[in-house]
Structure 1
Amino acid sequence: MQPHPNVQAVQRALDDAGARSGSGEASLVRLLPEAVHTAAAAAEALGVAVGAIANSLIFDADDAPLLVLTSGAHRVDTAGLAATLGVTHLRRASPEFVKRHTGQVIGGVAPVGHPAPLRTVVDTALAGYDEVWAAGGVPRAVFPTTYAELLRITAGTPAEVA
């Protein structure tokens, strides 16, 4: 079976960046038996701590997309993050906004593989895990990586987001 085009785009972006997993091997997108729409479901399916799941959340930051890669163990403090970033309005994006800027649907948004690079913030809480897992372009696709790799492959800015 041919992988979904979003999964192919994510794997291509990982390959192009030379992305590595926590074990030092190449990051490969894996398909889970079922879709996982929450960090808790992903953690259970992978047998890892919920904090090791890197949620890819898209926000509307003064009408521009902002990708926040946050630990699945907590929620984003939007007021605090807006102040840190110097934006006036920071709110969860609509499904249409997410799809337009990422080409992916909520629940499967990956850190990479978008039509154009996105301004990205990476939660410093993810640094506490040797390996983290991120979505791979569709709700049942994931890939292993590290905090340092997420910063590198997304050109992200580290920040406390909770």
Structure 2
Amino acid sequence: MSDELKASSLKVQTFLSEHGEDFVVQQMPASTRTAKDAAEAIGCTVSQIAKSLIFKHGETGEPVLIVASGTNLVSPEKVRDATGIVLEKADASFVREKVGYAIGGVPPVAHHSQVHTILDRDLCQYPEIWAAAGTPNSVFKLNPQHLGSLTKGQWIDLAK
């Protein structure tokens, strides 16, 4: 692991440092772009990866962040039933413009602006989880309680 953080990861580290706990962004030597890659690089299960997925709100066009367990596929129907939000796919330029990060490195925090956040209840079963930290090879460790407090997200059952 490298100690030198890229600008996007430094932005995440600054946010985390300003929010209390001793979270440490780690630059990994291998890719963490996918949940499988991240789990292999970290040495945890794929389910412990808190993958951040940006969707477009079907009515407002605003970004919606779904933080899902690495093994889960998001059920748009479950999200709609629990929140009333109709999810639409977001392309890479929408993601970069709205949250400030490229797909594969989107963190659950430190976005350009406020993002409606929905959290996968399946993540609550793990004492520690890992999330992207701004680049396709940076991560940070936290627990589900911290994920909830940092993102102010809504916990729901969202897996297909």
TM-score range, shorter chain: over 0.9
Give 1:35's match in structure 2, choosing from 31, 35, 45: 31
Q: 2: distance between equivalents of 1:112 and 1:31? A: 17
Give 2:141's match in structure 1, choosing from 126, 141, 144: 144
Q: 2: distance between equivalents of 1:27 and 1:3? A: 14
Unaligned runs of 5+ in 2: none
Shift in Å at residue 34 of structure 1?
Answer: 2.2
Q: Is the 8 A contact 2:55 2:90 kept in 1?
A: yes
Runs (4 or more) in structure 1 with deviation over 6 Å come to none
Task: Name the amino acid aligned to 2:57.
Answer: A
- The count of aligned residue pairs is 155
Query: After superposition, what is the alpha-carbon deviation per residue over 1:13-71, rounded to whole angstroms, capped at 9, x for unaligned?
Result: 1011113xxxxxx1100011022221011111111011100000001112111001000
Task: Name the amino acid aligned to 1:82.
Answer: R
Unaligned runs of 5+ in 1: 20-25
Shift in Å at residue 2 of structure 1?
Answer: 5.3
Give 1:51's match in structure 2, choosing from 47, 56, 71: 47
Match of 1:81 in 2: 79
Q: 1: distance between equivalents of 2:99 and 2:4? A: 21
Q: Is the 8 A contact 1:81 1:161 kept in 2?
A: yes
Query: Structure 1 residues 96-105 or 77-86, which shifts more?
Result: 77-86
Q: Give the TM-score normalised by structure 2.
A: 0.92
The sequence identity of aligned pairs, in percent, is: 35
Query: After superposition, what is the alpha-carbon deviation per residue over 1:110-133, rounded to whole angstroms, capped at 9, x for unaligned?
Result: 011111121101111001100000
Shift in Å at residue 155 of structure 1?
Answer: 0.8
Q: 1: distance between equivalents of 2:90 and 2:80? A: 14
In structure 1, the residue corresponding to 2:73 is in which secondary structure? coil
Say if 1:2 and 1:36 are closer, same or farther in 2 by CA, change over 3 A.
Answer: closer
Q: CA RMSD in A?
A: 1.2
Q: Is the 8 A contact 2:107 2:134 kept in 1?
A: yes
Q: 1: distance between equivalents of 2:38 and 2:27? A: 11
Q: Give the TM-score normalised by structure 1.
A: 0.91
Q: 2: distance between equivalents of 1:55 and 1:2? A: 23
